[in-house]
Amino acid sequence: MRLATQLRLAAAALFAASAVATAAEARDFTIASWGGGYQDAQRKHFFKPFGDANGMQVLEDTYLGGWAQFKAMQETNSRPWDVVQVENSELIRGCEEGLFKPLDWSRIGPKDNFVKPAVAECGLGVVGVSQLVAWNPKLTKNQPSGIADFFDLEKIPGKRGLRDDPKGTLEFALMADGVHVDDVYKVMSTPEGLDRAFAKLDSIKPQIQWWKAGAQAPEWLISGDVVMSTAYNGRIQNANKGGHGLEMLWQNNVLYFDKWVIFADSEHVDTAYAFLKFFADPQREAAFTDDYAYGQPNREAIRYIKPEVAANLPAGDNIKDALDTGRSDSVEYWLDNSDEIFERWTAWKAK
């Protein structure tokens, strides 16, 4: 998720302009996350209770993904956020470039309190999230039995929703084309393998409707704009609280464990650490998960999560053949190839 789309480029330009305008102004503690119902749930369980407990206002913003907004910060020497939720590639790049602060775990809690994917030099895990195939059974005569059916327009006619991002989408295309989860990056590292991923997407390109915000996928499935879509598991489960009956396929889902990071030049470092410690409470994390079904970083949280919710988390058998974006070959691949692939992605979409 770097300089991939016109939306992100425009957002980066606006971001840079606003950063220059506000650089000299003091501001309140600010957290940026992924927006929509997900951020509403974070506000309910973390942001507002933290502010109330400390007698302060917590400001919020939306992060669009990728590096564009961070690049604007570097170019303007402005830090309008204190804490932000990022994916692994951005986490590592920001840590290496000194944008994010190496964490002092004595101010958060022992590392052993957290599952392994939740601990990084500059990041504390936020949630374990799976991006998977979801569909509206009311709109499909035939039901998908595997991810290959996502690309079978004869078996299941209709529009497909896909995340407007090559990261995760190209891997998904290769797995749907028969590449084993363990071999995805070995294949993608060759010109022929990368061509194969784009060719798979070409096979349904006229029927693709691109989503940028996680909330869009369930909205489109409910409205009938698409009959199938890749989507985040928690977004689908949250939508189903309204009785919509959307279904999910866990085969070869793409697993993410996002991280909270603190900006190295934050105006509110002490408050940022206090927030991470507040967030890391297992009962508070469990309450969030009961509302929004994503996995939690604190090992003890599972003790407090409702059994019917725990059964539908990205954990156990649900991720037995998942592609973990935190594994070393995934992170290294996107750190090494991101800019070139995003350029190709943008050109391919424009054809």
Tokens of 111: 């590392």
How confident is the model at residue 66, as a pLDDT? 84
Is residue 230 classed as helix, strand or coil in its secondary structure? strand
Residue whose C-alpha is closest to residue 111's, from 340, 276, 227, 346: 276
Q: What CA dihedral angle connects 300, 305, 308 and 311, to 10 degrees?
A: -30
- 15-34 pLDDT, tens digit each: 444 444 344 457 899 999 99
Average pLDDT over residues 89-93: 92
Continuous H helices in the chain? 6-22, 36-42, 48-54, 68-76, 88-96, 166-176, 184-188, 191-202, 216-223, 233-239, 269-279, 282-291, 307-310, 328-350
**Which domains are seen in the chain, by residue range?**
6-128+257-315 (3.40.190.10), 129-255+330-350 (3.40.190.10)
At 223, phi and psi to the nearest 5?
-75, -20
Question: What integer pLDDT is reported at residue 14 of this predicted model?
Answer: 44
pLDDT at 199 over 90: yes
- Give 306-344 pLDDT, tens digit per residue: 998 988 899 888 999 999 998 889 989 998 998 899 999
How far CA 192 is from CA of 47, 120, 196, 198, 199, in Å, comes to 46, 33, 6, 10, 10
How many residues are given for the chain?
351
Distance CA 219, CA 41 (A): 17
Q: CB neighbours of 60 closer than 8 A, spacing ≥ 6?
A: 30, 31, 32, 33, 39, 43, 47
Cβ-contact 263, 32 below 8 angstroms: no
pLDDT in tens, 105-160: 999 999 999 988 899 999 999 999 999 999 999 999 999 999 999 999 999 999 99
Question: Which helix (H) or strand (E) segment is 258 a member of?
Answer: strand 247-262
H helix intervals, 23-119? 36-42, 48-54, 68-76, 88-96
